[in-house]
Amino acid sequence: LETPGVIRAAVNFADQTALVKTTGSIEEILSHVDAAGYRAALIQDENPEQKDALLRSEIRVSLVKSLVALVFGFTLMAAGMMGSLPALNHSFFWLGTGVSILLVMWVTGEHFYRGAYRAATHRTTTMDTLITLGTGAAWFYSMVVIVLPLLLPEPSRHLFFEAALFIIGFVNLGKTMEASAKGKASAAIRKLIGLRPTTAIKIVEGVEVQVDADAIDIGDQLRIKPGEAFPVDGVVRQGQSSVDESMLTGEPLLVEKNLNDRVVSGTLNQFGSLVIEAEQVGSETALSRIIQRVREAQNSKPKIGKLTDRISSVFLPVVILLAVTTVFTWWLVGPEPKISFMIVTGMSVLIIACPCALGLAIPMSIMVGVGRAASSGILIRNGEALQAASRLTTVVLDKTGTVTTGKPQVSQFHAIGEARMLTIAHSLEVLSEHPLAGAIVKYCELNRVETRQISGFVIAPGGGVSGELEGLQIACGNIRYMRELGYQGVDLEAEGTVIHVGEGEKIIGHFVLNDSLKADSIEAVADLKRQGLKVVMLTGDSESSARAIAGQLSLDEIVAGVKPEDKLNKIRDLQARGEKVGMVGDGINDSLALTAADVGFAMGEGADIAVETADVALLGNSIKGVSSAIKVSRMTMRNIFQNLTAEFTYNILLIPIAAGILYPFTGLLVNPAMAGLAMALSSITVVSNASRLRWAKLA
């Protein structure tokens, strides 16, 4: 953050990636990272197979280093136990052994020593610092025993070569298991990357040519055969087929695609052959944006992460201070041989307190939890949204397009002059994208109603539309909106939504429209209530229409006839009462409420502004995703607290034991090698616990 131009930076220790927002160039960022003693490269055009190969290579190298260190360590220990080693006065043998051990330490632990050196040059400390101090002290003390034995009392002349090797071996073994688990934890994003086909068939002047997917431009015509994935976002220009969109949405049902229907990159064409026209390519495709959003979420931290960052910043210096205090305490009050006790306890404190697990506790859970959500078609913006979703007490639902299909139909209409009323309605509503407008337009088209040119067209979100025709004001909308424009009329009671049509100063007719619940809305609301959440519905529709839908859902509260600003005020009113509010919507008129809510959930098929405004995007376009998102957030936060509790309990209990607090009562001292094993096991425990989220049931 001290680098000029950097606005925001987040490092994910679990995935070994960093997300940087900057006004500078990538070259400047990379040079500053290099100056800080680290290596970095820009992530672009990731190849999942290549990344898996690199991961397997990393695991293999780490495992070999671990085995080499452990084999040498066990061999040395076994030889000593069997009496096969010469006495310490055989200086040449032990000098050769010491040099050989140093070589093995460098080959198997060089990455620790380089890391400690880089940290030292920048006046900081890391986990590598503790490992370097611990293993370095073991080797150096052993060499003093060999080269200058008279400096030490005879009872303190012990060698710790095998302890240094065991520490490196066990830590590397832990790293091997961590890398394996982290590879599985990042499977969700690799799966998303793997959905992108690398080649496509492009139609050039009637000839089909295979090209790289990166070479596709907007407007290109592409042939998509059965069984192939769509390389870009586009529109069907020829053919019809069934498309499997489950890889993105989590929904197993096939979606029928016909002429002019949109298709999304990464989804799978199942049966028919299609010709599509590319509309979004490269980083602009829906899949690329999803991958970027998942990556940003995995690199983010919830508020609790900032607390652990502050703890981590002082933890390493405190550990070194504790190790020094331990050494001096044994020197002051310890029994003979004091120096041996000082070395053993000092090394054990340094190694057992390595904060590897603390650094992994939160990012591993976030990475797995966000990935698990993404595999179910739930995109969580960041760690703060994840944490906020786990605390929700009330969920507010929009009606049209959220709990209902958003495809209402005209069930009846009444007009003073039928032809004129339908012409006005058709001419206005054809200019609107609202689902109710679409239903009226469809009805008018079926009845072959003409349209006229409208001037001064205005959309009032949550109210209706208006304009001028032949010098007269005309409008379509709910009764509240019509009255605001000065029209006189009666608010009709009807089982459905009433849209009035006005001309001049009079209401000349109305439509009654009915929408149907989505198939899973009843079960989704029931699931929210089972989680202890209060469920409220806010809608701009009439009271009668809202109650007709709400009666089937067993909602806690219904507020009908509200404007977008009324939704905003209702959200704030609930928050003023102490509620943590989640808002679910799909339209432009929901964007204010989505922003004001503690967590905004946008339906994937809703308006782009709603999806961009929201904290959570539901690609499956079902409110079941709200319940699943809250479940995964609660499970992830619970997992984080489990990891942090385990790690702090580990340190609170084992650091005093490593320092020798039990020795006066039990004669127990922790061997430095066992301290290395315990430290590795603590990291493995955290990683394994986080990995459980991969199999969590969300439905």
Rounded-to-5 percentages of helix, strand, coil across the chain = 55, 20, 30
Nearest to 687 by CA among 173, 190, 279, 36: 173
Q: What is the 3-state secondary structure (H, E, C) of 419-458?
A: HHHHHHHHHHHCCCCCHHHHHHHHHHHHCCCCCCCCEEEE
Q: What is the 3-state secondary structure (H, E, C) of 583-598?
A: EEECCHHHHHHHHHCC
Long-range pairs for 128-131: beta carbons < 8 A, 24 or more residues apart:
129/316, 129/320, 130/316, 130/319, 130/320, 130/350, 130/351, 130/353, 130/354, 131/167, 131/168, 131/171, 131/350, 131/351, 131/354
Strand order in the sheet with 241-244: 254-257, 241-244, 268-269
Distance CA 332, CA 327 (A): 9
Contact 106, 122 (CB under 8 A): no
Quick check: is 398 catalytic?
A: yes
CA distances from 61 to 16, 67, 108, 109, 678 (A): 17, 10, 9, 11, 22
Distance CA 196, CA 45 (A): 10
Catalytic residue among 15, 128, 398, 541: 398
> Position 185: which residue type?
A
- List, in order, residues 6 or more apart from 504 with CB less than 8 Å away: 472, 473
Distance CA 17, CA 43 (A): 9
Q: Name the residues annotated as catalytic.
A: 398
